[in-house]
Amino acid sequence: MILAEVKPAARPLSPHLQIYRWSWTMAMSVAHRVTGTGLYLGTVLIAAWLVAAASGPAAFDTAQVIAGSFLGRLVLFLYSFSLIHHMVGGLRHFVWDMGKGYEPETRMNMAKFSLVASVSLTVLVWIVALVLR
């Protein structure tokens, strides 16, 4: 019995991360996923805060001390950035869903704008919150 020699298929290899050159749209895609994960983690913290509020004054006071600490405020700042950045990224995807903004320059500008807008809106929200406090 003679076995035929198996030759590898002559097809292109799938590209991988070492081939791609990072772009704004790639970075914002990764950031959108990371902020989505951050929203899950932050929502667990909000649920814990609500449980503390429902558990009584002592538990709520402890939660407030933790949230009011430097680390607690940093986590709240990052959570609010995640929320705003994810929303702005969602709006960018909504524009694409409507069939607009596919031109290379427009895509890059939208990606850059999403980062600038999310940082600016986060800082603005925190300035307003601190002023009204």
- Is the sign of the CA dihedral 38, 40, 44, 47 positive or negative? positive
112 exposed, middle or buried (CB, 10 Å; 0-12, 13-18, 19+)?
middle
pLDDT for res 130: 95
How high is the pLDDT of residue 1?
Answer: 61
Q: What is the pLDDT of residue 22?
A: 84
* pLDDT attached to residue 20: 73
85 is in an annotated binding site: no
pLDDT for 6: 63
Q: Using an 8 Å Cβ cutoff, are 37 and 79 in contact?
A: no
pLDDT at 8: 64
pLDDT at 116: 97
Per-residue pLDDT at 15: 67
Q: pTM higher than 0.95 for the full model?
A: no
User: Does CATH place domain 24-132 in 1.10.10.10?
Assistant: no
Low-confidence stretches of the chain (pLDDT beneath 50): none
